[in-house]
Each structure stands twice: as C-alpha cells, then as structure tokens.
Amino acid sequence: MPRQSISFTTPNEAWLQEQVEKEEYNSKSEVVNDLIRKARENEYIRNKLISAEQGGFSNLTRDEILAKAALGNDAEL
C-alpha cells in the first residue's frame, strides 16, 4: 500500500486520536481509510439516486422492479 504524508487541523487530529484511543481502530490510517471508503460509498449511492431521479417514472410493477433488482442492475425482464 502506498504511503502518504498528510497534515490535519488540531481538532481533526484530536478526533482521529480519540478514535484510536477508544479502540474503534488500531491506527489513524485505519480511520482515514474507513472514512474514504464511506465517502466513496456515499458518492456511489448519491450518483445512483441522481440517475434514478433523472430517469423519470417506471412502467414496471413492484414485483418486476424487485425481480430486476434481484437479478442485477443490467438485467432485462
């Protein structure tokens, strides 16, 4: 894994250290990586929601939508 050197504000440094001290994480790197993973998940979900909003209404029934979701995003019914 590539190593990086980053600087934090005093409040952010204190918060990171607190997470490690509470034994939520083993290191500040774990905290930062977890925050990045969560931000990426949020971005993915946000983009899906925006796409869905722009896509308009569906003519599919509830059951058809659920079946399509169970098969995967690109499934055809």
Is 4 inside any structural domain?
no
For 40-56, letters b (16+ CB in 10 Å) and e give eeeeeeeeeeeeeeeee
Pick the residue with more confidence: 56 or 45?
45
Global pTM value:
0.66
Residue 5 lies in a domain: no
Say what the pLDDT of residue 74 is: 58
3 found inside a domain: no
Domain assignment of residue 29, given as a range = 10-71
Angle (nearest 5°) at CA 72 between 44 and 61 = 105
| pLDDT for the residue numbered 75 | 54
Based on the structure, what is the number of domains in the chain? 1
Q: Does residue 35 fall inside a structural domain? A: yes
The reply to whether 60 falls in a domain is: yes
User: Mean of the pLDDT values across residues 15-21?
Assistant: 97
The tens digit of pLDDT for each residue in 21-48 reads 999 999 999 999 999 999 999 999 999 9
Is residue 38 in a domain?
Answer: yes
Task: Answer yes or no: is 63 within a domain.
Answer: yes
How large is the C-alpha radius of gyration of the chain? 20
The DSSP line for 51-73 is HHHHH----S-HHHHHHHHHH-T
Confidence of residue 72 (pLDDT cuts 50, 70, 90): confident
